[in-house]
Amino acid sequence: MRIERGLHALYDADPLAADRRVWGRESSPLTRRGFLRGSGLAAMSAALGGAIPFAERMPAGLIPAAFAQTTEPFSIPGKDGLRVLNDRPLNAETPAHLLDDAVTPAERLFVRNNGTPPNTADIDPGEWTVEVAGEACLRPARFTLGEIQRRFPHHTLQLQLECGGNGRSEFHPPARGNQWTTGAVGCPTWTGVRLRDVLADCGIGENAVYVAWEAADAHISGDPTKQAISRGVPLPKALEEESLIAWDMNGAPLPPLHGYPVRMVAGGWPGSVGGKWLTRILVRDRVHDGEKMGGQSYRVPCDPVVPGAEVADADMCIIESMPVKSLITFPESGVRLPFGAPATVRGHAWAGDLAVRELHTSIDFGTTWQRAALTEPANRLAWQHWSTSIDFPRPGYYEVWARAVDAVGRSQPALLPAWNPRGYLNNACHRIAVRVA
């Protein structure tokens, strides 16, 4: 019986050994450069469809971007082109080239579920009820969505939303969970009321520490006594102008997969802090202890650990602001470009609670970088758009890498950030494959 292993399986097991086995590349652990020459260079060049002008600068153990990103789509009604990672619960990501819009269309926004969405087909959205309660709520109340819409000022903001596990598939050793590549991110506009206005109406006690939510989705087991997820944010984040109770996305009612009829949105933090199908808001006198708040869910080691280490729950810290990150949305990875003509490359960048200060691109595996043009965000916590023109010096296979720098000078790592058991916060440079003919 012949057993075949895929490229990702080989590199997951031992990246440097995979280099030797697949390409005949000898690598130096000190320099992290691969000595790719002779038949190995010829083999990789043939597989990539052309010469590799900067082959001597390619890091060891690196799967070429042309092979590292799958583009086979899986169809979901209203979500053409998204890739399904799991169907129970349903989770799907968007290929980078489908995220080129400045404002992410609903049909291009990734889907992240922890449980089974409620059936909202026959509800009256105006009569949907949201309760405000908790140990630190002075005047508990119940509002219909219609009352919330009538009583409080409306605001429309473009807010970036990203799953905390976006990029998980690149970690080694592999981490459990949906194997997101780069597509669990988007930046639509949201219309709603400020969470702080509703909290102020109900009264915030001096003992308030955290604001949490509960929702109508069911636990994947079907057990009605269990919650699928119930998370939240510290009080200062809840009181920011950009933390919304929202009912519209891009000027239309929320799609069912994104929380219809009402949800919370707290841009810049993991998308899991914004509850869909919102039913209850809790003003807590402690850090919230709901489902997926404890253990290692949405937490990373408080201090760096070696890859593969076991980390005690007590040594894990809750993820708050997301790290600086960028995405190349044009051209699509694998594109063929004519030699001699400058190529337009563009995308988005974001940095959690902060703005992005600079965006750079590289075509020589991170050896040199050139600065791209970068726009201001539409509002705080919206992503920023960047663009540049690249001249490729000669025909061959290239990788375009993008690296963002945030407002306090923190930069994306060229390859992978610190490993963590659940594969969160991968903000490595995005890279695409380009063949110049």
Beta-sheet strands, E only, within 352-429: 356-362, 370-371, 373-374, 384-390, 396-406
Tally of CB atoms within 10 A around 144: 15
Number of domains observed in the structure of the chain = 3
Tally of CB atoms within 10 A around 292: 16
CATH of the domain at 253: 3.90.420.10
Position 61 scores a pLDDT of: 77
Question: Do 214 and 165 reside in the same domain of the chain?
Answer: yes
| Cβ pair 257, 117 in contact under 8 A | yes
Question: Do 294 and 351 reside in the same domain of the chain?
Answer: no
Helix (H, G, I), strand (E, B) or coil at 13: helix
User: How far apart, in whole angstroms, are the C-alpha atoms of residue 107 and residue 96?
Assistant: 14
Asked whether residue 370 is assigned to any structural domain, the reply reads: yes
Helix (H, G, I), strand (E, B) or coil at 48: helix
**Residue where a domain stops, chosen among 303, 318, 333:** 318
Question: Do 227 and 340 reside in the same domain of the chain?
Answer: no
Question: Do 201 and 263 reside in the same domain of the chain?
Answer: yes
Asked whether residue 228 is assigned to any structural domain, the reply reads: yes
Query: CA separation (Å) from 77 to 73, 112, 122, 218, 224?
Result: 13, 15, 19, 21, 28
Question: Do 101 and 233 reside in the same domain of the chain?
Answer: yes
**Residue where a domain stops, chosen among 300, 318, 336:** 318
Position 73 scores a pLDDT of: 42
**Of the candidates 182, 173, 107, the residue with the CA atom closest to the CA atom of residue 332:** 182
Question: Do 44 and 191 reside in the same domain of the chain?
Answer: no
CATH of the domain at 397: 2.60.40.650
Question: Do 311 and 350 reside in the same domain of the chain?
Answer: no
Position 300 scores a pLDDT of: 97
Asked whether residue 329 is assigned to any structural domain, the reply reads: yes
Question: Do 278 and 396 reside in the same domain of the chain?
Answer: no
Q: Structural domain of residue 428, as residue ranges?
A: 325-436
Position 386 scores a pLDDT of: 98
Position 74 scores a pLDDT of: 45
Intervals of the chain under pLDDT 50: 1-5, 29-32, 70-74
Non-local (6+) Cβ contacts of 17 within 8 A are: 10
Asked whether residue 73 is assigned to any structural domain, the reply reads: no
ω into residue 331 within 30 of 0, thus cis?
Answer: yes
Position 285 scores a pLDDT of: 98
Question: Do 140 and 177 reside in the same domain of the chain?
Answer: yes
Q: pLDDT, tens digit, for every residue of 268-296? A: 999 999 999 999 999 999 999 999 999 99
The DSSP result for 278-296, as a single string, is EEEEEEESSS--STTTSTT
| Cβ pair 155, 192 in contact under 8 A | yes
Asked whether residue 430 is assigned to any structural domain, the reply reads: yes
**Of the candidates 298, 356, 262, 260, the residue with the CA atom closest to the CA atom of residue 114:** 298
Question: Do 209 and 314 reside in the same domain of the chain?
Answer: yes
Q: pLDDT, tens digit, for every residue of 212-228? A: 999 999 999 989 999 99
- Note the Cα 164 to chain centre separation in Å: 6
Q: Give the largest Cα separation in the chain, rounded.
A: 75
- Note the Cα 209 to chain centre separation in Å: 27
Question: Do 340 and 427 reside in the same domain of the chain?
Answer: yes
Q: What is the DSSP code (8-state) at residue 31? A: T
Question: Do 411 and 277 reside in the same domain of the chain?
Answer: no
User: How far apart, in whole angstroms, are the C-alpha atoms of residue 185 and residue 164?
Assistant: 10
Asked whether residue 75 is assigned to any structural domain, the reply reads: no
